[in-house]
Structure 1
Amino acid sequence: MSAAILRERFCLFALLGILCISVSARNSQVKCIDREKQALLKFKQGLTFTNTRNFIYSWKTNGLNFLSTWKSEVDCCRWKGISCNNRTGNVVILKLFSDYRLVGNIDLSVLCELQYLEYLDLSGNNLKGQRIPKCIGSLGHLTDLILSDTGFVGSIPSELQNLSSLQTLDLSWNQNLTAKDLQWLSHLSSLRYLNLERVDLSQAVDWLQSINKIVPHLVNLNLANCSLPKINILPRINSSTTLKVLDLFKNNLTSSTLRWVFNVSQNLIDLTLSETWLQGHIPEGLGNMISLETLYLDGNQLEGGIPKFFQNICGLQSLYLNSNRLSGDLYESLQQLSCSEKTIIRLDLSSNSFVGSLPDFERFSSLKSLFLQNNNLIGSFPKYFGNLRHLSSLDLRSNELSGPLPDFIGLPSLRSLYLSHNQLNGTLPSTIEQLSSLTSLFLDSNSFNSVITEAQLSKLPNLLSLEVSHNFFSFNLSSEWIPPFQLQRIGMSSCILGSNFPKWLKYQKALVYLDISNCGISESMPKWFWNLSLELSYLNLSRNKIHGELPNLSLGNVERDFQEFDLNSNYLSGPLPQFPPNTSLLNLSKNKFSGTLPDCWKGFEELRIMILANNNFSGHIPASINSLQQIQTLHLGKNIFSGEIPILKDCRNLKLIDLGDNRLDGKIPAWIGQNLPNLIVLRLRSNKLYGNIPSTLCNLSVLRLLDLSLNNISGKIPDCLNNLTAFSEIEMNISRAIISHDYYYSGFIINGHSDPFIDNAVVTWKGEEIEYGKNLGLLKSIDLSGNNLSGKIPPSLTSLVGLISLNLSRNNLMGLIPNGIGQLKMLESLDLSRNMLFGDIPRSFSNLNFLSHLNVSFNSLSGKIPLSTQLQSMNASAFIGNNGLCGPPLTKEYCLGDGNNSPNPSINSSSQMNDNEGEESGLISFGFYVSLAIGFIVGFWGVCGSLILISSWRYAYFKLFDSIKDWMYVKAVLFVARLERRIQS
């Protein structure tokens, strides 16, 4: 046998031997340590899974599979989430991260039995109320400890300083976790990644000194939203060559802290200084960070333009300068990015004050996302926007751009196009058909005027969101058309769709948001449409002419976080239909619904907006409405409700209550002022309420509109109205005055933001009923008219200097008009008519420069009307019914008692001359005195005798005397009041 054959056979036997040894070794693999297995089984005993709407799928697919593997008869090294050392059998990796959603009374200390553990990840689980076990500091082999978003509470144990091998420590998103000092960090010399985001470090005054000791070895440091204490004295800086990522989001940084940031590492590639209260110009220290690739400076108060030192940062890929106060010409600011124009991928300059027209962005050849919304950009698009073949998202919303759309042929990768709220016009360009990758098209609130055809939409197969509301679009789509896309959002409000529901909608099975309001639809709802609506999160059919009854909607998709239904201003009738329990907005106002409201509101835990006004609902308002603890707006006005106001003590989030124009009776509840601290609008107008105005209403410090008019309320106006502090503020910021409810509508959040629901209310303004929306918070009105209020106008009213409208008319108020009413300089409307007020109109009325509506008619006012541009421009009817008033605009120019009363002084002098002449004419003689005595005797006894003998005459006489006395008293009080006014002035 040859040597070659022998060698071949030897190699074959050797190979077979190796295979046998390998199989034998695998069959005899070391199993997990029993002590560690028992510890894990004990840990498992407290485990359950989060069964919430958000994680209903994850716990079924992941949690149950995970649990099924943790069995005592199975080697723990084969359990899901567990890895062991192949030589020793010790557990070295335990991964139970968020996919499993663990929750329960878990004994975490048993994990300390795993002494050879190297990797521990419990992130994203619900361990609320538990502390980090101190014994974790004994796990000396740990290299990675990840406990983020687990709900840990209490202080971080200093025993963690014993983990000398630790390279990764993540305790982020534990909002009730604190640290009084960070000295323990200085012992972790191997640490490379440190994340303490949302851990409360407000008491850790040594944070910078401790971080400074380990920073030379760190690669990634995240201290975002930690309430870092201010640093006034900067320690010696240990600069780093390894630190690449630094995140200080949402901390209040001092200048000393900023100096540390700008000098700690020259190799930073990712720096986050968002919402850190930076002011003034963009800090120059950033100019030395030439390695930066991502820079977040958004959400500060930075001013000026983009500085020149950005020309030194040539590798910049993402720049976030949004939500600042930056200004200047956009083109000039972009010139400072010339060094990085080939590398920038994402540029966000939104929500600033940049001006100018749109420049050519073609030189930014790598750009994928461009956000310029909420600036002051003007002019039209360039005819050719640029060859940006990578551009995926373009947002130019809320500017002042005008003219037609450009040719989008150079944007083949465009997926999101946001042009809402501009002044664009014209038609859709034919080249929009070439944007086959487009998923979101937002053109709403412009002035486009064209017909949208099947041919255009058929070329957009990937479309998910189509928003063209508030333009002049009309749709020319056949009833047989089947779209190539499955839309999630459709907004076509105020477009022309025809009188029928668009049948092509029946093929849209993924719809989450549908707005076809004010589209001229006039038919009843087809059955296929209600099958569609069961999956929706937002449905708006308002301001059409839809008629008929609504079906049972309670079978909707309960797995949605929220569902909103806005069907107002139609011809819908019948009883209130059933709605899903997760409904958050329900607007059925201005329809023909009737009947009583069901008393079954306890299950509606998400309901925030309930608007059922302007219908024919009757009966008592159900008591179970008090269980709506999330309710913010309650509109039940203009129905036929009766009975007392229901108890709403538990609805502490209420901002608006409108129960006006019903048939409610009883007293105004005192709990309104005691239990509803957030109330902004209280409208109980035109009911049958009686009793006093409770003084507890004065506790409503944010109240801006109070309407109790047209009831039977009596008593005095409370003298504590000065506590209504919102009426004492002069609001100049319109955006702050909007009464809105900022919660997300599920399914149509755009770039992380959602439009809030803006509240409205009907207000009697200058004698007319007007519905206010965005300007409702600016109105600041008090209306107590048409009641039986008595007493004086309280002086405390004059401190409400922010009042725009005050109506106290048609009551029984007496006394003088407070002189301090001239302090209400914001008043535009004042009505004090049909009371029993007397005295002068205060001269301070001349200070009411914004007054455009005044009515003081039918009182007992007297004296001259003060001179001012506003008062003399009023119609004379505003002053009639006051016999003692004179002066313009009345035709009666002179008042009794005024030294200048007579228009002709010669009449007075001639009368005086005639009287003197009568005295000297000799007519007063002895016979005159005799006649006077006889006349007195006859007259006195003739009258007094008759009064003594005839009782009916006596009663009539004294009644006349009392009337004369009252008349003289009023005249005397008026005289004294007028005299006091003249002395004061």
Structure 2
Amino acid sequence: MTSFEGTSIFTSKLQNLYLRNCSLRDDNFVISAITVANSSSSLASLDLSSNLLKSPSIFDCLFNSTTNLRTLQLYDNMLEGPIPDGFGKVMNSLEVLYLSHNKLQGEIPSFFGNICTLRTLYLSNNKLSGEISSLFQNSSWCNRHVFQYLDLSLNNFTGTLPKSIGLLSELLMLSLDGNHLEGDVTESHLSNFSKLEELSLSNNSLSLKLVPDWVPPFQLFYLGLRSCKLGPTFPSWLQTQRSLTYLNISDTRLNGSVPEWFWNNLQNMEILDMSHNNLTGPIFNLQPRLLFGPLIFLNSNQFEGIVPSFLLQASFLLLNENKFSYLPSFCEQRRATFVMILDLSNNAIEGQLPDCWNSVHNLRILDLSRNELSGKIPESMGSLVHLNALVLRNNNLMGEFPSTLKNFSYLVVLDVRGNILSGSIPSWIGESMNKLVILNMQQNNFSGSIPNDLCNLKHLQLLDLSWNMLSKGIPTCLKDLTAMSEQGFSGNTMLHYAVSVKGYMFLDMDVYTLNIIWRWKGVEHEFKIRRPSLKSIDLSSNSLTGEIPKEIGYLVGLISLNLSRNNLSGKIPSEMGNLSFLESLDLSRNHISGEIPFSLSEIDFLGILNLSHNSLSGRIPSGRHFETFDVSSFEGNVGLCGEQLNKTCPGDGNQTTIKPHEHGTFNDNEDSVFYEAFYMSMGIGYFIGFWGLLGPILLWRSWRNYYIIFVNKLINYIYAWFW
């Protein structure tokens, strides 16, 4: 169907046409629809947003048709190219224009000020560039008395904010965040905005230089100044803003204490972000009533003393990376039931955990890691039946796990690493916490065997039981850890929380993402957990005995496996060669015997290998990249031989130990012949020389080995030279 002439739905009386989210593409069908619809003199509103439109021909179609459009919505498409000047020539009745979330490029045209009816202009999230002042050049701004909404956020505009922006005295909303603006913003820029309700300048390089006694003419409910320079002292003009529901002054170089009047003005607040500053001192323990269970981000400051109880009325409360020393009891906090995320990690909180967790029973994430907490885990913590993550690592907690924690049927992360917890690992972890993705019990005093019930954790991707006192064998049922037999993220829960209030998605804020610390390739790293793709098992530094179960070969999604520093014996199962995504394998300091299975040499991604200090014997495999591992990967195994150890194997015949001369050449005559051929091949040319050399290397095993050794030594020489 390419024409709509005569179609009953497009009559001369058609006023509104909505084709939002219809998967429309650039084709004759759409263009014909627009043409016929626009031919209707009564059409006032056209909505083609959230489609797949790309071609500028859509604009040509609009401009070539007789139109009296007042509202045009084209946001959330894939429109490219510059904004066409047809808007300034033929769209004389336009009042509302949405072009956000496209791929429009070029400078912003100045003709928008000449569309005298235009009151709303949304151009956010495009690729527009150029000086911000160009919008106000060569324009009469005949619409200055009706223009109310201007959104230019998330583009590439540069330059300073022109004072001529004050011409738009009727503005209700001004959003310029996420650009490359610089320079000063003074009261002369803002004093004409008596009706302004939303102001967002976040994520620019702007400096707000406002006189201390300035009284703004507006009452804002939305103010975003993230990453602007607002400090060093706390802005006193904020005292006049009593209608704020959203305030983001994070990373604005604020120093010193926060005045008492500020905390008393939070009753209407829905989102407060003052993180990543240098705010100091205690927070006054006042009694303001926080009506809407706000999201409060005070992390990464220097606050100290007692955590004020009124903050427990928040739904998100991030106080991590401060100097708080005491956590009050929840027992008398009636409004603490709002709290869903409580992050007090990396503070200096002492004493025992409070025992009134039933007062905060809606908690989803609790992070108290890296404090100085002591005593036992209270049984009342079992009332947190909706908990997704419990992170208590790096404290001084002791005793056994209370059995009430078996109520955590929604738990995704359990991290108690670095405490003094003791007793056996409860079998009910595998029975009740069947949604676990991360289980970290490293560096405690757990004893006994690894319970078979842990094999019921079908979503488990990170398992760390290292540095405990576990004994007996490794369960053969590990093959039942389904998620570890698959590649990529296998869990069904993301610990990643977007911030959306009253329909707004706040782009100038960091969403909350839980962090974990994990030992990866021998080094501790901090990971943000959104969709974890790392799959790791670490059972090192225990007293485990018996053989390595061949069933580990079923866990083909594993990326890291560490069984070092135990009392394991027997052979390395050849089935471990099935772990094709394995990047790190550590079996060192056990009593493992027998030969190294050749299948290990076929793991292409294996970058870290440690088989040292065992009782291995025989020739080290020479397949693929196995020759790249140095002596440290195999030392302490008296029976091993091979090039990596510079040690010949029985039955090698006339093969000799390879020893370099002082000047970097080799003793063996065969080596000399090889290197002469190698350098000659480089001189003759790529195709003749390289392939002339490559054929013998592939066919003659000893030459192939010499070639690999040469490349490794060359890399080592280069590395030593530069580093």
User: What range describes the TM-score normalised by the shorter chain of this pair?
Assistant: 0.7 to 0.9
For 2:419, the equivalent position in structure 1 comes to: 662
Could you tell me which of 176, 189, 193 is aligned with 1:456?
Answer: 189
Task: Show the counterpart of 1:426.
Answer: 159
Distance 1:663 1:869, change over 3 A: same
Local SS of the residue matching 2:57: helix
Structure 2 matches for 1:495-574, cutoff 5 A? 495-552=228-285, 555-560=288-293, 563-574=315-326
Report whether the alignment pairs 1:470 with 2:203: yes
Describe how 1:40-59 pairs up with structure 2 within 5 A.
Answer: none
Q: Which has the larger radius of gyration?
A: 1
The 5-angstrom pairing of residues 474-485 of structure 1 reads 474-485=207-218
Instruction: Provide Cα deviations, 1:207-266, integer angstroms capped at 9, x if missing partner.
Output: xxxxxxxxxxxxxxxxxxxxxxxxxxxxxxxxxxxxxxxxxxxxxxxxxxxx9xx99x95
CA distance in structure 2 between the partners assigned to 1:798 and 1:392 by the alignment: 65
The aligned amino acid for 1:681 is I
Q: CA deviation at 1:768?
A: 2.0
Give 1:430 shift: 3.1
The residue correspondences of 1:100-115 to structure 2 (distance < 5 A) are none
| Residue 881 (str. 1) matches residue 636 (str. 2) | yes
Per the alignment, in what secondary structure is the counterpart of residue 686 of structure 1?
Answer: coil
| In the alignment, structure 1 residue 381 sits paired with structure 2 residue 108 | yes
Matched residue, 1:790: 545
1:439-475 CA-to-partner distances (Å, cap 9, x unmatched) read 3444444443333322223333333333333333332
Aligned equivalents of 1:603 and 1:398: distance in 2?
Answer: 42
Match of 2:677 in 1: none
1:142-161 equivalent positions in 2, closer than 5 A:
none
Question: Is the contact between residue 385 and residue 408 of structure 2 (CA under 8 Å) also seen in structure 1?
Answer: yes
Offset of residue 688 of structure 1: 2.1
Question: Residue 676 of structure 1: CA displacement?
Answer: 3.0
Q: Are 2:489 and 1:489 aligned?
A: no
Q: Per the alignment, do residues 400 and 480 of structure 1 end up closer, same or farther by CA in structure 2, a change over 3 Å counting?
A: same
- Asked if the contact 2:226–2:508 (Cα under 8 Å) also holds between the matched residues in 1, the reply is no
Task: State whether residues 534 and 553 of structure 1, in contact with CA within 8 Å, keep that contact through their aligned partners in structure 2.
Answer: no
Amino acid in structure 1 at the alignment position of 2:412:
K
Work out which of the residue numbers 405, 413, 435 in structure 2 matches 1:648: 405
Is 1:892 the counterpart of 2:673? The answer is no
Q: Give yes or no for contact 1:382–1:406 (8 Å, CA) kept in 2.
A: no
Provide the rounded CA distance (Å) in 1 between the counterparts of 2:500 and 2:475: 41
TM-score of the superposed pair, with normalisation by structure 1: 0.56
The 1:546/1:559 distance shift into structure 2, 3 A limit, reads closer
Contact 1:546 1:571 in 2 (8 A): no
Aligned with residue 605 of structure 2, among 819, 843, 850: 850
Q: Which amino acid aligns with 1:678?
A: K
Q: Does 1:767 align with 2:529?
A: no
CA spacing shift, 1:615–1:837, aligned 2, 3 Å:
same
* Aligned-residue offset at 1:901: 5.9
Matches within 5 A, 1:212-361: 267-268=8-9, 291=14, 293-298=16-21, 307-310=30-33, 311-314=35-38, 315=40, 318-323=45-50, 326=52, 328-329=54-55, 331-338=56-63, 339=65, 342-343=68-69, 345-350=71-76, 352-360=77-85, 361=87
1:935-967 alpha-carbon deviations (Å, 9 max, x no partner): xxxxxxxxxxxxxxxxxxxxxxxxxxxxxxxxx
> What's the secondary structure of 1:762's corresponding residue?
strand
Structure 2 Cα separation of the partners of residues 554 and 684 of structure 1: 39
Q: Name structure 1 gaps, 5 residues minimum.
A: 1-258, 270-287, 905-985
Q: Report the Cα distance in structure 2 between the residues aligned to 1:740 and 1:320, rounded to whole angstroms.
A: 36
How far apart in 1 are the matches of 2:24 and 2:539?
Answer: 47
- Measured after TM superposition, the shift of residue 538 of structure 1 is 2.8
**Whole-angstrom distance in 1 between the partners of 2:66 and 2:377:** 64
- Count of residues in correspondence between the two structures: 618
Shift of 1:892: 1.4
CA apart distance, 1:761: 1.6
Residues 163 and 188 of structure 2 are in contact (CA less than 8 Å); yes or no, is this contact kept in structure 1?
A: no
**Gaps (5+ residues) in structure 2?**
295-313, 659-723
Question: Aligned to 1:778, what secondary structure does the other structure show?
Answer: coil
* Aligned-partner residue type, residue 312 of structure 1: V
Aligned AA (1:894)? T
SS at match of 1:836: coil
Q: How far is 1:626 from its partner?
A: 2.4
Tell me the distance in 2 between the aligned counterparts of 1:702 and 1:373: 39
- Opposite residue 405 of structure 1, the aligned amino acid is I
Match of 2:553, SS? Answer: helix
The code of the aligned residue for 2:57 comes to E
| 2:551 aligned counterpart, secondary structure | helix
Say whether 1:626 aligns with 2:382: yes
Contact 2:177–2:203 (8 Å) recurs in 1 = yes
* Separation in 2, partners of 1:293, 1:328: 23
SS in 1 for 2:358: coil
SS in 2 for 1:514: strand
Match of 2:614 among 834, 838, 859: 859
Pairwise CA distance, 1:355: 4.0
CA distance in 1, matches of 2:84, 2:290: 46
Q: Distance in 2 between matches of 1:645 and 1:340?
A: 75
Find the aligned partners of 2:428 and 2:57 in 1 and give their Cα distance: 59
Q: Percent identity?
A: 39
**Match among 674, 679, 693 for residue 436 of structure 2:** 679
Distance 2:551 2:114 in 1: 67
Higher relative contact order (CA 8 A, sep 6+): 2
CA distance in 2, matches of 1:514, 1:731: 38
Q: Structure 1 residues 319, 555: closer, same or farther in 2, change over 3 A? A: same
Q: Provide the rounded CA distance (Å) in 1 between the counterparts of 2:582 and 2:228.
A: 40
Question: CA 1:675 to 1:892, structure 2 compared with 1: closer, same or farther past 3 Å?
Answer: same
What is the root-mean-square deviation of aligned Cα atoms in Å? Answer: 3.9
1:483 partner amino acid: P
- Whole-Å separation in 2 of the counterparts to 1:378 and 1:800: 48
Structure 1 pair 702/378, CA: closer, same or farther in 2 (3 Å)?
A: farther
Displacement of 1:509 in angstroms is 1.5
**3-state SS of paired residue (1:779):** coil
Shift in alpha-carbon separation, 1:603–1:359, aligned structure 2, 3 A:
farther
One-letter amino acid of the structure 2 residue matched with residue 823 of structure 1: N
Amino acid of the structure 2 residue aligned with 1:729? E
> Which position in structure 2 is the counterpart of 1:942?
none
Match of 1:612 in 2: 368
Could you tell me how far apart the structure 2 residues matched to 1:560 and 1:308 are? 48
Structure 1 residue 861: Cα displacement: 3.1
- 2:559, 2:179 → 1: CA distance? 33
CA contact (8 A) 2:49 2:73 kept: no
Given residue 374 of structure 2, which amino acid in structure 1 is its aligned partner?
A: S
CA distance in 1, matches of 2:529, 2:100: 21
Q: Which amino acid aligns with 2:69?
A: T
C-alpha displacement of 1:882: 2.8
Contact map agreement 1:708 1:784 (CA 8 A) in 2: yes
Q: For residue 758 of structure 1, what is the aligned residue in structure 2? A: 513
Shift of 1:356: 3.8
Query: Could you report, residue by residue, the CA deviation over 1:643-668 in whole angstroms, capped at 9, with x for unpaired residues?
Result: 23343333333332322222222333
Whether 1:690 and 2:447 are equivalent positions in the alignment is yes
